[in-house]
Amino acid sequence: MRVTQSGRQGQPRWAWWFVGIVIPVLGLVVTLYVSTSARSDGVDPPPKTGETANGVGGKEKQGTAEGETSKKVFGPRELTFDFKQDSGFHVELDVGEPMLLQDDQGADLAVSNGAARWKYLRLAGPRYEDVLAPLPASASAAGKDCQRALERNLTDLLEGVTPGQRACIATSEGRVALMEVVSAPVGGSRLKVNFTVWESP
């Protein structure tokens, strides 16, 4: 009977090297290849213990829901313009409440009474910049509706202000404001309005 150096009958030494080392290495290579190709196909590996598809403990990331109203800064706050004292005013809306300014530096809105010349009240962007948009009667008095109006119907001037009229304003610091006319007496001597301001969506 012939005996090989391995001590096994009829089996060469290289066969045992092949079975004991090459086959396990080949299995490891195949496993790594399958795992890598699954990730490249967009398949995520199974979650770790204590996690779900949404993250640790199953908590989803918190965010602003679509259509959610932006955070309100203030309002509605009433402001009265007395045109017996002055024919024009500048208003700042980025300081926590509507504030009258001496000039247009930092102003978000210019309000003037042209009764002697134009026979109506007018609103304008400072230096006639495009920061105004009329808000349709069908729209709600919400920040998202004002934002939509400013995106679709931006202008630098609104003339003939009347009670009940609403206008949206893009402030100099990127906020969204709504102006609602409470009263505008004939002759334009006194204008009373409400301002509401939201952070930009």
Percent of the chain with pLDDT over 70: 65
Q: Please tell me what DSSP assigns to residue 108.
A: S
The answer, yes or no, to whether residue 170 has pLDDT greater than 50, is yes
pLDDT surpassing 50 at residue 2: no
> Do 76 and 195 touch, CB atoms closer than 8 A?
yes
- Peptide bond between residue 47 and the one before it cis (omega within 30 degrees of 0): no
Between residues 85 and 109, which one has the greater pLDDT? 109
Length of the chain as a residue count: 201
Residue 116 has pLDDT above 80, yes or no: no
Asked if residue 16 lies in contact with residue 24, where contact means CB atoms within 8 angstroms, the answer is: no
Asked whether the whole model's pTM tops 0.85, one would answer no
